[in-house]
Amino acid sequence: MAVKKNNDSVFEARLKPYYDELKWLYMELYNDEHAFTYFIDMLKQYYDERPAALRKWDEKRTAAGSWYSRSNMLGMLMYVNAFAKTVNGVRSHLDYIEECGVNYLHLMPLLESPEGRSDGGYAVSDFRKVDPKLGTMKDLSALAKECHKRGISLCLDFVMNHTSEDHEWAVRARKGDPEYQSRYFFYDDWTIPNEFEKTVPEVFPTTAPGNFTWNEEAHKVVMTTFYPYQWDLNYANPTVFNDMTANMLYLCNNGVDIVRLDATPYIWKELGTNCRNLPQVHTLVRLMHMAADIVCPGTLLLGEVVMEPSKVVPYFGTLEKPECQLLYNVTTMASTWHTVAAHSTKLLKHQLDTVFALPKEYTFLNYLRCHDDIGWGLDYDFLEIDGLTQIPHKKYLNDYLTGKWPGSDARGELYNDDPRLGDARLCGTTASLVGIEAAVYEKDDAKLQTAIDKDVMLHAFLFTQSGIPVLYAGDEIGQLNDYTYHDDPLKREDSRYLHRGDFQWDLAEMRNDPKTRQGMLFGRLKELIDIRKKEPVFDGGADTWLVETGNDRVLGIGRYNDGDKLIGLFNFSEGEETVYLNEEETYINLLTNKTCSVKEVTLKPGGFLWAKLTYTQPAK
């Protein structure tokens, strides 16, 4: 009893500073005292059930403050089945993950989903059960425990916008249970759905057109924003919010540290709107943030907001009332590949100006490639200043990065190609998009070296940004496109499987042999990772700015932190480039540890420079 009393006092102490805001926001949405009381009781339940080891982990994380914004952070993203077949398989390969320098491990959706109707695991049929082919919840907890011993945080997707049509709620709804139909959006006919369609854009107009599906068993229309087998949840129903928050906390109590809120902007629907980024979404995310702070304060929320910066940044909330601690820097990713194809840094500089102006407390996840396609949501108003209009420029980017453009060594494929709109997105691994695949196929050693240089330069640029850099598993060894998906009837219609191939462990075995392409790439990337981890100038708290290079083919970034100044230069052209900077001081080249001048710098194709200047002597 004494222990329980102590637990009660800790819970009350955590709840107290949030209680008034929790109740205000909850009642503003639902005006339901009974549901709110249930919500608070549910938080207490999951607080009581939180294992002692995870409570200690919470204490360690909260004492460390903004640990996730420091230069020692490096993430890796993977599909469990592709990387190591099972959750236990991932645990058996933690030595490799540590060798890569990774301390943030993001496992793609691994909860139970129906095969062939899962959208890569994003149609969850049970939020409390690991897909049996991958393991069990016990296996996931064991993996998390081992990760924590090694100082690795575990990230998992939480698909909160919808469930699978096979989820228990959906099964009961199909059978006509009005309570469960109220957890989704069911309509007797197409009258209201047709009104929604007037203002709600289609997510996948070619592969899954429309936002509603007729369900014959229920004899009703159901909202399905993404795919017909993914039924949108109705968060205007407090039972949905309460139970989904409970599902999230259940995962946290099994060791998940970072919760990726999938499709965050979509979770509130309202007739007459585009059902994106509505104010109620921010209320829900803020409520979930507070719930995590009360039950499991070592937990971070990662918002999946794949939109332009003006739509993304509000999901950080404010410094006083935060929502997500982490957000994806998707615009920089897309702008990076635009720069690779266009050989001009103008758009990238324009975009980085926005990022560098944000408060340092805002932490982005930065990446070159991920499990998804590359969408060309660029600032076309800015591009039109140089006469680059949207449809023909998208075609150029796609032609270049699929290798159709004369002289291009990129090897990608289109995704969701819509010839009617002149629109398509792009797929491919980093190595294939920078030309490594073409060089290997042609057995051209000089071309291979140039492609590897470009790959390393892009990673150096990635590591120069503030936030958490994330590698897609396989990029560290230059894994190429996997064309075998064309032969799989469950995958062949989705070109994203081009870059979702199985991890090639036979190639990984070559990572320490500098004579192989895997060794050449792995060794150079590991060197960059090690430098970044030990240099405070890469911390998220550093000042960052664009360095004017006078050359649109070379990007310049400056960083300053605690007496150290960094100049980073990155050549995006296919030729040698020289830049002239107004910098008289003598710097240290971080890769050679030798003195250098940055007043006049010549970079080879795909070349880069990290040069540091120390203004103050370190304390003895």
Residue-wise pLDDT for 252-289, tens only, equals 999 999 999 999 999 999 999 999 999 999 999 999 99
Q: Are 164 and 114 in contact (CB under 8 A)?
A: yes
User: pLDDT tier at 97 (50, 70, 90 boundaries)?
Assistant: very high
SS3 label, residue 163: strand
* Confidence at residue 215, expressed as pLDDT on a 0 to 100 scale: 97
Give, in degrees to the nearest 5, the angle at Cα 305 between 540 and 414.
Answer: 110
Six-digit token string for 184: 């989704």
pLDDT value of residue 303? 96
**535 in Cβ contact with 71 (< 8 Å):** yes
* pLDDT tier, 531 (very low <50, low <70, confident <90, very high otherwise): very high
pLDDT of residue 526: 97
pLDDT of the residue at 192: 98
Which is nearest to 500 in space by CA: 343, 596, 372? 372
Measured over the CA atoms of residue 504, residue 507, residue 511 and residue 514, the dihedral's sign is: negative
Sign of the alpha-carbon torsion through 4, 6, 11, 12:
positive
| Mean pLDDT, range 565-572, rounded to an integer | 98
pLDDT for 206:
80
Where does the pLDDT of residue 306 fall: very low under 50, low under 70, confident under 90, or very high at 90 and above?
Answer: confident
How sure is the predictor about 146, in pLDDT bands with cuts at 50, 70 and 90?
very high
Residues 408-447: pLDDT tens digits? 999 999 998 887 777 899 999 999 999 999 999 999 999 9
Report pLDDT for 620.
41
Q: What is the mean pLDDT of residues 310-321?
A: 91
Q: What CA–CA distance (Å, rounded) separates 196 from 327?
A: 28
pLDDT at position 6 is: 59
Tens-digit pLDDT profile for residues 547-560: 999 999 999 999 99
Q: What's the rounded Cα separation, in Å, for the pair 90 and 140?
A: 10
Mean predicted confidence (pLDDT) in 340-356:
96
Instruction: Give CA–CA dist 245/26, Å, rounded.
Output: 13
DSSP annotation of 455: H
The confidence score (pLDDT) of residue 1 equals 29
What token pair was written down for 500?
A: 């979702």
The mean pLDDT value for 148-177 works out to 97
Which residue out of 119, 232, 304, 539 is catalytically annotated? 304
Give dist(CA 453, CA 524) in Å, integer.
Answer: 9
Q: Which helix (H) or strand (E) holds 543?
A: strand 543-546
Residue 438: both structure tokens together: 């073409």
**Phi, psi (deg, nearest 5) at residue 609:** -140, 135
**Amino acid at site 134:** L
Torsion, CA 181, CA 187, CA 193, CA 196, rounded to 10: -60
Domains and CATH numbers, the chain: 162-232 (3.90.400.10), 542-614 (2.60.40.1180)
Give the chain's mean pLDDT: 95
- The whole-number pLDDT of residue 8 equals 85
Q: What is the 3-state secondary structure (H, E, C) of 368-382?
A: CCCCCCECCCCCHHH
* SS3 readout for 254-312: CCCCEEEECCHHHCCCCCCCCCCCCHHHHHHHHHHHHHHHHHCCCCEEEECCCCCHHHH
DSSP class of residue 516 equals: S
Query: How many of the other CB atoms lie within 10 Å of CB of 214?
Result: 14
Count of other CB atoms within 10 angstroms of residue 155: 23
**Is there a catalytic annotation at residue 399?**
no
Give me the catalytic one of 262, 293, 453, 535.
262
Gap between the Cα atoms of 358 and 268, Å rounded: 27
CA dist., res. 374 & res. 66, Å (int): 30
- Check: CB of residue 184 under 8 Å from CB of residue 233: yes
How far does Cα 553 stand from its chain's mean position? 27
Residue-level pLDDT at 617: 58
Nearest to 53 by CA among 139, 154, 141, 128: 141
pLDDT band at 207; cut points 50, 70, 90: confident
The letter for the amino acid at 154 is L
What confidence score (pLDDT) does residue 116 get? 86
Q: How far apart are the C-alpha atoms of 436 and 474, rounded to whole Å?
A: 13
Distances (CA, A) of 481 to 451, 474, 485: 15, 10, 10
Long-range contact set of residues 490-493: C-beta below 8 Å, sequence gap at least 24: 490/115, 490/116, 493/207
CA dihedral 535, 538, 544, 548 (to 10 degrees): 70
* DSSP single-letter state for residue 201: P
Q: pTM to 2 decimals?
A: 0.94
Indicate whether 131 pLDDT > 90: yes
Of 166 and 5, the structure prediction assigns the larger pLDDT to: 166
- Give me the residues paired with residue 567 across strands: 558, 611
Please tell me the distance from the alpha carbon of residue 542 to that of residue 306, in angstroms, as a whole number: 26
Whether 20 sits among the annotated catalytic residues: the reply is: no
The answer to whether the CB of 472 falls within 8 A of the CB of 455 is: no
